[in-house]
Structure 1
């Protein structure tokens, strides 16, 4: 039997340093930095090397494209290494140890759900994300899989309030319908700004729908993961297999829809149509209403709009207080001696007004300060610990979609006309003002703004910006009008 190395031995470190050097020489500095810089060797058990990476995407990509090359590099240094196993690190830690002499077929599996979840969190029973390889790519040993579900994001941990109660009710109804092999509202589209609970609801639906029947085919995908699978399928000439894989699902959940672009967006449209025709449940989440998703074909936007569109509104004070209280209760259960007085809960809910993730972060900071310094959690500690978070009560992030909507409504010009080539005065001036606002209130470059305004050249955008700036110097009423538009956008 080969020597059983552990992750702490110098021999282990020296072996992997030599393997990394071989990889760097074989693929070049740029490729090495992109794909292998964060690859770590956790341990070697018998003839199996256990490696880890920080993200699921990186894990899938390396297994699909570089597994053989990595194994060759290992065997160039040690003939005893015959197999590899990849896992995803969570909070900087991979699965602590592999069992000796695992079966050969386990070496190339996708990282297990247990390996991707913090140990201290009680684990719900995971629904089965589809992992069977499409026929066209069966020989590749690259099992398709969904994005990782967060075991903390269930209906039980979701805090309801006036701004999200409809979305929560719809999500529960969808999960109940899937459990009973029926279709509720279809498709369901949930939208809100960042950090208000869209991803939490999609995760909760997946956990609840899979709880009663772990074998149910459920796919949860972020938009970037969807694009990765599609691009990989096209490169391998297995697009048909990819389509078959998606169309066999019982429940498809797509998150961060606003990031879907190019041909992947077109493919999503085909998949959506096929699933709806086959009466399969589809739930989508994005940061804008369907009509504002410019990267999607009008037909796809129409299909999404034709389902149930559910907004989640900005949290009010009562809901922020409830969220802080819930997170504080969870923290008190995990850490001995942690106590949040009501005055602290009230203070955090009052001053942290951006979104739910900042509320979670505020509670975590206070717990960390208490545990590291021993100082009791008081309003004074909160003022000191959360100072930068309070200062960051960010002006609302303005998007070009918001600008188009507000300008269109204010000037009573159809949004499509703002993007068209029409040159009448009643369209040109609002269009120029919209471009000026896009340049002033967003971080988008001139070429990108031009693309978002109907594919215009960056020089057209620059001309519009300068034109509006000149008009504002000569027209006080226009200045006030634009200030009004800015306030409407930042509210």
Structure 2
């Protein structure tokens, strides 16, 4: 088996690491989703030590190859995490796979060259090698738990699947990560195909669209790209926020959208922010807002219990209602975290041969999710006060108009933490910081993320402020 290497392409606007074919792109997307789940299931130190360094190498047939950086890491992952990795990859790739862990350095598995190599023409088969990602059969309407937090999004999604292009077109669904947006997109596609197997359904992420567009430009195959994207009956676009800041890709997306919309084709999009909060061009924003916009909010306690009950029944996990109620009360911000906690408890009970009681659940989960409870009542004023104290400035400085260096960085950190620790929208955060617009808030958030990666001392300061806020000190 020849691994599918990835190379750095030239300085097109989007600056991506691009794969030689779509199977590798699918693997990259799947691995990102696997890491999101494992980051919630595994202790942070373990995740950073063992999972984070893993590099996806190739996806050929049903064989996935992952690379790690030492023999001991290979052994440890195979002993502790391989079953979870395999299961999660299968969920996200939509097929059974065999996973191989190899011991080789990341730079050997993923060579980056000073000059891009000549691009080989992609392989073709009888199906013309579909551009699009597979739908996951597990993400159906039957397995989606409906509550007040998602009732509107669910109802409009069902209507769209029954009458594509006739109701709620476009449909834009937004909500924080882990709320079920991807589930709904897959469910729409599955239900629509069940009703009409000849329907041309395409599920794609913003990142994948960008990749396809850049490769089409590089290979001078833009006509083929447009033909494939503009002959779709039902276009499901996940992670639209990935298009932000990529002007040429955004322009191509707009033309694709217009072509499909004018042809009466159904468009469904999902993002972590509302159209108005994305920071896209006014023309594209107006298109996204012209149809039905539905948010998925944080599930209430009753819905969280129902989600846990549904998951427990499906996975044949025997936990009492009291335990499920405790878990639902502890974790409120993410459906993924709820499911991760359920699996943790089930594994602990099976390995330790103990029946899980509410008391034991508290003991097992407190180290993982204790901060979740502490952040429930955090508001914007608490964030501003904690940041002002840490940087020895005043809250008035943070909310005022001064732009000197001593004030700008603390203000950016405060906006970042406001987004992380509260449910406030970008416009709401902007108003709390002296009437700044949502694009300024978004820029501040991205700036702090970059600083935390490039400067460990900034990350340490941010973590200390979070600790101060959640501990009430």
| TM-score interval, normalised by the smaller of the two chains | 0.5 to 0.7
Looking at structure 2, the residues matched to 112 and 412 of structure 1 have their Cα atoms a distance apart, in angstroms, of 45
Alignment of 1:12-411 (within 5 A): 56-57=26-27, 86-87=61-62, 89=64, 114-115=95-96, 141=124, 143-178=129-164, 182-261=165-244, 262=246, 263-294=248-279, 296-332=280-316, 338-393=317-372, 395=375, 398-399=418-419, 405-410=427-432
Looking at structure 2, the residues matched to 356 and 188 of structure 1 have their Cα atoms a distance apart, in angstroms, of 22
Looking at structure 2, the residues matched to 209 and 233 of structure 1 have their Cα atoms a distance apart, in angstroms, of 29
CA contact (8 A) 1:324 1:360 kept: yes
Deviation at 1:92, TM superposition (A): 5.4
Cα 1:352–1:250 shift into 2, 3 Å: same
The residue aligned with 1:462 is: none
Deviation at 1:310, TM superposition (A): 0.6
CA contact (8 A) 1:321 1:345 kept: yes
Cα 1:284–1:347 shift into 2, 3 Å: same
Cα 1:192–1:249 shift into 2, 3 Å: same
CA contact (8 A) 1:258 1:286 kept: yes
CA contact (8 A) 1:59 1:86 kept: no
Cα 1:402–1:236 shift into 2, 3 Å: farther
CA contact (8 A) 2:94 2:136 kept: no
Structure 2 SS opposite 1:208: helix
Deviation at 1:138, TM superposition (A): 8.8
Deviation at 1:444, TM superposition (A): 4.2
Cα 1:306–1:356 shift into 2, 3 Å: same
CA contact (8 A) 1:223 1:260 kept: yes
Cα 1:238–1:325 shift into 2, 3 Å: same
Q: TM-score, normalised by structure 1?
A: 0.58
Aligned length: 328
Deviation at 1:413, TM superposition (A): 4.7
Cα 1:414–1:361 shift into 2, 3 Å: closer
For structure 2, the residue ranges without an aligned partner over 5 or more in a row are 9-16, 31-58, 65-82, 100-119, 379-416, 455-464
Deviation at 1:248, TM superposition (A): 0.4
Deviation at 1:331, TM superposition (A): 2.3
CA contact (8 A) 2:345 2:364 kept: yes
Higher relative contact order (Cα pairs below 8 Å, separated by 6+ residues): 2
Root mean square deviation of aligned Cα? 4.2
Cα 1:213–1:114 shift into 2, 3 Å: farther
Cα 1:254–1:59 shift into 2, 3 Å: closer
Deviation at 1:215, TM superposition (A): 2.7
Structure 2 SS opposite 1:309: strand
